Structure formats: C-alpha cells, structure tokens
Structure 1
Amino acid sequence: MHGRGQQGLNPETLKSEWLATLNRGTTTFGQSVPTDIDVAFPFYGDILDKYTQQFGIPLTSDVQARGTPLDDEFLVFQAEFAEAVRQRAGITDAQVDAEYGPDPAPRGPLNWKWVQAILRAIDKNGSGMNQKTLEIFTRDVFLYTTRAGVRDEIDQIVAGKLTEQPTVVVSHSLGTVVAYSVLRTDRRSLRVPLFVTVGSPLAVRAVRDQFRPLRSPSSVDAWYNAFDTRDVVALYPLDADNFPVRPAIENNSTVRNHTENRHGIVGYLDNPDVAKRILNALGG
C-alpha cells in the first residue's frame, strides 16, 4: 500500500520496485521472496492527485491572507500536526520564535505566519524532510482523513484488491492510514496474518483522532510497525500511549532509513528486520 506522491507513475513498475527492495532485505539473511505468491498493488496515486487539484487547498508557504473555511480547517489540522512533530523532534520554542520574528500577532493555529514558522523550524532543525514536502504531506493526509468522498473512493480501490485469502498487508506512509481505514471497516471475512506499517503518521493526534474509537482490525492477527526515529512524520510509535489498541502493536524503532528524508519506502523495505517479519508471515 503505497504512500502519497505517486501520481502519473506505473503501478506495475512501482510493484516491481517494492519487490526488488524487499528482496534486497531478504538477501541479507540468505533468503528471497517466494515467487509463487500473488502480489496485489492497489494504486490510488492518480485519484488522490485529482482531489488535491479539485479542492485546491493552498500550501501554507503560499498563503498571504486568510482563505476559505476549508483553508482554515486545513490550517488547524496542519498546525496540530506540525506542533506534534516539533515537540517530538525536540525543536524548541526559541527555534520557532526565531523563524516567527517580532510579529505582534497572537500565535495560534489560524495564524498562518505562525504555522509557517513551525514548519520552517522543522525544516531547519529536523532530520531531512523539507518544509514544502511536509506541507504537501499534511495536505494529502488532511484530504484523505477529513473528506469522506476522497476516503471512500480511495478505500474502494484498495478494498477491491483484497480477498478473503490469507493476505500479508504491507503499507507505507499515507498508505498505512489508508490500509488501517480499509481493514477496520471491511465487513468481509478477511484474514491478515500480519499487518505491516512503516513510516506511519497514524499516531499523530491530528490523524489518530479521525479514527475514533481506535481499535485493531478484527481481521488482523499481528500488527508490526517499523519507523526511523529521524522520520519526522513517523516520530510517534504506535504504542499504548499514542495508539492504544488490543492486542498491542509491535514497534521497531531501530530502522536507520538510508533515504535522504529518512522516510522513503526503499529505506524501510530493505531493512533486514522488516524484511524478515514479512518473509516469515509469508511462510518463508
């Protein structure tokens, strides 16, 4: 289950890249992905892109004045997301103040200059993801989680690739949010021996609160979550404090994602521990 930013790409090519990356991970312990398994790769990149253009929500760095009620709703969502990232990343109030400057306007989620200052502070003092990328990421997560029409169409694409055969679900970034949404609402007798989430923002309160009450999908036997502690959109583990569900989710915070922004899928799938968990669930 891919993340955002995949519009215009070939789903078959993406699937091949994911499998090749996973195989790199399995070769570190002398094994390979079985060739006799069916691999589905639900692709929603173009649909998500259609909606981002349709809604036309401006990025915070492009805002010059108060916008529509939808723009304000997004600004509040993004402010909450960015503030959660700032706190977890250890970025200080002083570092944000340095970006905000002497502006006398009250600091708050509807002050777009204040939100910009938080995002700039994350960009300058974080560990790889730049301001614009984080803005686009939060916009896409906002559209998916808060607009029922967007979520429904994307969920239908994903659900259409799921069957009642035992299925290991592997998801990344926004794809972890999509996968969770589908698995918790699908009424079929799905069987998921392992649900894998990597680089997931699900534990950020702005995202988590869209799925109240939280619960582990009944179809899932085990849930494994891996993240790099430098990946700014996945800084919060899916643990009892941040994502309390039963049975508890297994978290792996030891991944050192080698991609530039510490968030790329190739830096997760080729991790030996991640690859081993997936392979074991496949019966390898």
Structure 2
Amino acid sequence: MSKVLLVHGIAQQYRGPESLRAACAPALCDGVALAGGRLEVADVAVAFYGDLFRPAGSRGLDVPDYDVTDLADPLERDLLRTWWYEAARTERGVEDSSSGTRGRTPQWVQRALHALSGSVFFGGLAERVLIGNLKQTHAYFADAGIRKRIQRRVLAAMTAETRVIVGHSLGSVVAYEALCAMPGLGVSTFVTLGSPLGVPKLIFDRLLPRPKEGRGRWPTGIRRWTNVADDGDIVALTKALAPLFGPEVRDVLVHNGAKAHDVRPYLTAKQTGLAVLQGLVGDGP
C-alpha cells in the first residue's frame, strides 16, 4: 500500500496511472534520497484522471484542431492573458504584452498564442495544444460533473497507508479540494509543486470551499504544507501561499532549469524530498 500519493496536472490524457508512476516515482525517490532519506518506488501511487480529458476516438488529431475562435470563454482568455504577461516578464524573447490586450479580442488572443508557442517555458507547443490546456483548466472549474469525477479518482486512490499527498500544477488544486472535502483521512502532509492555487480571481476565488475574507481554508487534519515553486514558473504565478492559506504554509523556491514547470525536476529537488520525508517520519510540528 502506498505511503505517498501523486496528483498530476493537465495534459496527461494520453498516459495512464502506471506509465505516469514509472516516470514520476523514481524522480521523487531521488528527491527523498537527496534529503537524506529513503523512499521505495512501491510506496508511491498516482491518482490518475487524465483519461477524462481524452477526446473520443476519431481519425483526426490527438488534440482537437482548436484555433483562436475557440477561446471564447472569459476564464480561458484571462488565463491566457495572465500566462502571456508572466512569460513576457520572465523571458527576454517573448513579445511585450503591456499593450497586447487592448485591441480586438481575436487579434490579441492570436498574438498571445503566438508569443507563448515560441517561449522557452512552453517548449514550442502548438497553438492548438496550448488552447487544449486552457480548456482542461476551464473544464475543471466550469463542469461540476468533471470536477466530481476527478475528486472521486483522488479519494479512491487514498488508502489507510497514505501519509503524504503531492499535487503538481492543477493537481495541487484537485488535491487541496479533496483534502478539504474529506477530512480525517490520515494524511498529515501536503506538498504542492508549481501550484496555481494562489492565482487571484482565476483560481483562488473559484476554490471549493470558497475563501473567506481573502483567506483559503486550511485542510483539516494536515499538519504540514510545503509549497515548492520555481521563480520562472508561469503557472505558479503566486509563489507564496502562506499569505493566503496561513503562516503554517512553508513556501520554498527552487530552480528547475529550462523546464520550470515540469513535474520531474520538481520531484527531484531536495526541498521536495525533505518535505515528503518529514511527512513520512513525522518529525517536527
């Protein structure tokens, strides 16, 4: 039975729980080893929900042939705008976005997609893939059915042995909401990697349970919460979660190299390994 549960982010619709675990579990074991501990691959499980976003079978493209006209929802456009601003701030080669959203909607959206598809952060992703990623995030918050099914996947993957939950990207939002919805599960440690939990209005204000007076709820039963972010991670726009969820959150910055948001360098980081190790051995408050 696993002691650590990983909850993945978007764009995993063509993988499965075991193939994802094969890629991620050894990386986390490396991170724990760098922190001076030991974690076995068998002690790591993955809560998988990527298949819920997999398109129905067809002879077409793996990702629907989205174009600029498909980004009509305000959440999708606002998230795109936020990514563009942050990419322009952190990357010299990305077109300045300071006046990019003042024109007609299709025009600035096209400029934003073009700028991001050429950024180092997004690694040359095709525009239709970028749009698909935006739509997965939107679907989680807008489609109550999808949200419930994803939550059930996470809760079903938890066992009596689970002590630590590690959530990456949107997976940190999924894991947070699951922990809040089902207290008393025996999980003592929460680790968030590249988390968008603190992004105002777009993510933070849409959480369940709803934040009150600018403060998100602390998940019942959690003794430790470590939030790990790379300064160049565009998705983790708000690097510090302590001001939003309480001073007990330990915010830590790491450097992931060229792939600032990739889950594997996050998992191999000594800081991540230490947070997981503390949850397993139970030392300290």
TM-score, normalised to structure 2, is 0.77
For 1:153 and 1:194, the matched residues in 2 are separated by 23
Report the Cα offset of residue 59 of structure 1: 7.4
Aligned residue in 2 for 1:246: 246
Aligned residue in 2 for 1:144: 140
Gaps of 5+ in 1: 101-105
Q: How does 1:66-105 map to 2 (within 5 A)?
A: 72-73=72-73, 76-91=74-89, 95-96=96-97
SS in 1 for 2:191: strand
With 40-49 and 140-149 compared, the bigger mean Cα shift is at 40-49
Report the Cα offset of residue 141 of structure 1: 0.9
Alignment counterpart, residue 45 of structure 2, candidates 15, 40, 44:
40
Q: How does 1:111-190 map to 2 (within 5 A)?
A: 111-124=105-118, 127-130=121-124, 132=127, 133-163=129-159, 165=161, 167-186=163-182, 188-190=183-185
Asked whether the 8 Å contact 2:227–2:241 carries over to 1, the reply is: no
SS in 2 for 1:227: strand
With 88-97 and 16-25 compared, the bigger mean Cα shift is at 88-97
Aligned residue in 1 for 2:4: none
Aligned residue in 2 for 1:202: 197
SS in 1 for 2:195: coil
Gaps of 5+ in 2: 1-6
SS in 2 for 1:234: coil
Report the Cα offset of residue 270 of structure 1: 0.5
Asked whether the 8 Å contact 2:35–2:273 carries over to 1, the reply is: no
Percent identity over the alignment is: 30
For 1:28 and 1:94, the matched residues in 2 are separated by 38
Asked whether the 8 Å contact 1:99–1:120 carries over to 2, the reply is: no
Report the Cα offset of residue 98 of structure 1: 8.4
For 2:177 and 2:187, the matched residues in 1 are separated by 14
For 1:42 and 1:98, the matched residues in 2 are separated by 41
Distance 1:49 1:247, change over 3 A: farther
Asked whether the 8 Å contact 2:88–2:96 carries over to 1, the reply is: no
Which structure has more strand as a fraction of its residues? Answer: 2
SS in 1 for 2:54: helix
For 2:18 and 2:108, the matched residues in 1 are separated by 42
Give the aligned residue type for 1:24: D
For 1:272 and 1:38, the matched residues in 2 are separated by 18
TM-score, normalised to structure 1, is 0.77
For 1:282 and 1:264, the matched residues in 2 are separated by 24
Distance 1:154 1:97, change over 3 A: same
Report the Cα offset of residue 3 of structure 1: 1.6
SS in 1 for 2:166: strand
Matched, 1:22 2:28: yes
Asked whether the 8 Å contact 1:85–1:233 carries over to 2, the reply is: yes
For 1:129 and 1:135, the matched residues in 2 are separated by 15
Asked whether the 8 Å contact 1:96–1:121 carries over to 2, the reply is: no
Aligned residue in 1 for 2:259: 261
Report the Cα offset of residue 165 of structure 1: 4.9
Which structure has more helix as a fraction of its residues? Answer: 1
Cα-to-partner distance string for 1:5-39 (whole Å, 9 max, x where unaligned): 2223232232232221122223335542157x743
Length, aligned pairs only: 260
Give the aligned residue type for 1:246: G
Report the Cα offset of residue 200 of structure 1: 1.3
SS in 2 for 1:137: helix
